[in-house]
Copies of this chain bind each other. A is one copy, B any other.
Amino acid sequence: MTTAAETMRPSVQRAVEVCPVEVSMAVLGGAWKLSAVKYLLERTHRFGELQRRLGTVTPRTLTRVLRDLEADGIVVRTVYAEVPPKVEYSLTDLGRSLDQVVGWLDAWGDAYPRPVG
């Protein structure tokens, strides 16, 4: 049999040993991840669409980000057997369950420096 722990990415596994919040941060932390999720909450995107909306991300990095999110069960990757290639990214139920927090973190980040001065 295969337990969930065996297929988890190393950083997530480590987090499980420590604290639930660490698990969340292991899955959602890191550059571009939540921005990508934020756009995917809007609607399904193609690879190039995400790249353009994120602005300065390189294809190499975006690929890694999306592959991690896929491995963690947040996004689904759908490949169409067409030429030129067409690949769509959308959220799983688990990914959609992030709607609230992402909205919250977006608002908090937007207001961030202001409480200081």
| A residues at B contact (CB < 8 Å) | 3-5, 8, 15, 18-25, 27-35, 38, 54-56, 73, 93-94, 97-98, 100-102, 104-110, 112-117
Contacts and interface: CB of A to CB of B under 8 A. Distances in A.
Given A25-B33, A25-B109, 6 more contacts: A15-B109, A22-B109, A23-B110, A23-B112, A93-B115, A101-B101
B106 A20 contact: yes
Given A8-B113, A93-B115, A34 B25 contact: yes
A87 B36 CA distance: 40
Contacts of A22: 31-32, 34-35, 109
A18 B4 contact: no
